[in-house]
Amino acid sequence: MPIIVNLDVMMAKRKMSLNELSERVGVTLSNLSILKTGKAKAVRFSTLEAICKTLDCQPGDILEFEND
């Protein structure tokens, strides 16, 4: 898939665990794990917004398009 998810990079920069992000964002640990590993087929804008607010970042810091 040409969309790369850099959620783990942003979490490391903010020194935040997946458990902490899950609690703050209000998304289940399993759903965040699916997103983090790049296995998600879609992400809601409301979820992306909550993640960006919590990590103090832009959507482009988390999602990257890789052109083959």
H/E element, 29:
helix 29-36
CATH of 3-65, one of 3.40.1080.10, 3.40.640.10, 1.10.260.40, 1.10.760.10: 1.10.260.40
Secondary structure of residue 38 in the 3-state scheme: coil
Cβ-in-10-Å burial (0-12, 13-18, 19+) of 10 comes to: buried
What pLDDT is attached to residue 1? 62
What pLDDT is attached to residue 15? 97
Domain residue ranges of the chain, discontinuous segments joined by +: 3-65
Q: How confident is the model at residue 67 (pLDDT cuts 50, 70, 90)?
A: confident
What pLDDT is attached to residue 5? 95
Tens-digit pLDDT profile for residues 5-44? 999 999 999 999 999 999 999 999 999 999 999 999 999 9
